[in-house]
């Protein structure tokens, strides 16, 4: 299975996917990594592993993902043979036409127990709300923000002396296991439906 990864930041989740492929627990390869931030570390990580990379140029828009840019992104992913798109810390909302190009084939990882706390810095929201637990969710992407059918979800406790940073780090440990597991699960379902 050929994966495409879209990310805006550090790319630790993409690294976890690379590691799972390398240790033989995920039968896939990453065909293309794209970022809307030319300086994102995710691009460095990918290059280090010899993975093709590219920049998504949103023409100066800070958060918007213009339709024509989504169409071009879909084309680049298709040309790289991508079958499943993994959003890994990608900070723009994916809509049509990218969604239409990959129906039920775009996944996202979110650091909260969805449907609770969609949006940015959700671990902070959970902490501020006095929750006893937080977690992470891998889900199919639809046209909402952090909505779409859940594939896998796992919780972590929130401890009384947690800071936002400590809690986020604890969530990320789980993320790095959960994302490859979710890709494996979707991959099996794709195989079975062939
Ligand atoms: C993760 O916490 C993920 O849940 C969220 O963005 C963060 C990306 O981190 N969507 P990284 O770039 O994979 O390190």
Q: Which atom of ligand 1 is the closest one to the Cα of 110?
A: 4
Put simply, whether the predicted model's pTM sits higher than 0.85 gets the answer: yes
Q: Which helix (H) or strand (E) holds 124?
A: helix 122-128
**What residues does ligand 1 touch, defined as CB less than 6 Å away?**
7, 9-13, 88-89, 109-111, 136, 172, 175
Is 110 a known active-site residue? yes
CA 109-37-182 angle, 5° bins = 15
Residue pLDDT, tens place only, 137-175: 999 999 999 999 999 999 999 999 999 999 999 999 999
Task: Assign 17 a pLDDT band (cuts: 50, 70, 90).
Answer: very high
Q: For 67-99, write each residue's pLDDT tens digit.
A: 999 999 999 999 999 999 999 999 999 999 999
The β-bridge partners of 66 are none
Distance 165 CA to ligand 1 centre (A): 13
Contacts 24+ apart (CB under 8 A), 189-193: 190/1, 190/83, 190/84
Burial (Cβ within 10 Å: 0-12, 13-18, ≥19) of residue 164: middle
Q: Average pLDDT, whole number, for the chain?
A: 97
110, 139, 168, 176: the active-site residue: 110
């Amino acid at each position: 299975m050929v994966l495409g990864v879209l990310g805006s930041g550090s790319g630790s989740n993409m690294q976890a996917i690379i590691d799972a492929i390398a240790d033989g627990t995920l039968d896939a390869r990453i065909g293309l990594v794209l970022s809307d931030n030319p300086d994102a570390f995710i691009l460095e990580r990918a290059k280090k592993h010899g993975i093709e990379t590219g920049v998504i140029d949103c023409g100066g828009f800070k958060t918007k993902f213009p339709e024509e840019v989504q169409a071009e992104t879909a084309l680049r992913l298709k040309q790289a043979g991508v079958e499943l798109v993994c959003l890994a810390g990608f900070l723009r909302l994916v809509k049509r036409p990218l969604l239409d190009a990959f129906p039920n084939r775009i996944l996202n990882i979110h650091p909260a127990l969805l449907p609770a706390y969609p949006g940015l810095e959700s671990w902070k929201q959970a902490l501020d709300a006095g929750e006893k637990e937080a977690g992470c969710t891998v889900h199919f992407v639809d046209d909402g923000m952090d909505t779409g059918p859940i594939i896998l979800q796992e919780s972590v406790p929130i401890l009384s002396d947690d800071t936002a940073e400590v809690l986020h780090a604890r969530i990320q440990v789980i993320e790095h296991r959960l994302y490859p597991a979710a890709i494996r699960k979707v991959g099996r379902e794709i195989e079975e439906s062939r």
